[in-house]
Amino acid sequence: MRQNHIDDSKLSLLRQREQEQAAKKVEEDEYKRRAMQVLMEHGVSASNSLQVSRRAGFERKQSSQSVQDVQEMINEYRDELDKYKTRIGILEQKEIERLG
């Protein structure tokens, strides 16, 4: 008898979770439907939004590539500057030795 009671409580919890999930899905579907309705009211079609989304992805990729290229240039410049400082230090040391 006790086993049946435990199974019944588990079953009721499972049903409650399923009902919550179903209610959440209905709410999400309603939100998506309303969003699509608003977009359509403003003249945005599915193909138009897909095109805009692809363009935005392309632009984001291009921007990321530009930022990466600039970072690379900055790093190369820093390396070049460090090498220059090293060469100047060596030249100064040689000059000090020559004068000394």
Asked if residue 2 has pLDDT above 60, the reply is no
pLDDT at residue 6, as a whole number = 63
* Whether residue 87 has pLDDT greater than 90: yes
Question: What would the 3-class secondary structure string for 32-91 be?
Answer: HHHHHHHHHHCCCCHHHHHHHHHHHHHHHHHHHHHHHHHHHHHHHHHHHHHHHHHHHHHH
What is the predicted pLDDT for the residue at 43? 75
Domain boundaries, the chain: 1-44
DSSP 26: H
| 11 in Cβ contact with 21 (< 8 Å) | no
Mean pLDDT of 55-79: 94
Q: pTM of the entire structure? A: 0.45
Q: What is the pLDDT of residue 32?
A: 86
* Residue count of the chain: 100
Examine the pLDDT at 18 and tell me if it is beyond 60. Answer: yes
What pLDDT, on a 0 to 100 scale, did the predictor assign at position 5?
Answer: 60
Average pLDDT of the chain, as a whole number = 87
Structure tokens at 65: 């590539």
The better pLDDT of the pair 43, 81 is held by: 81
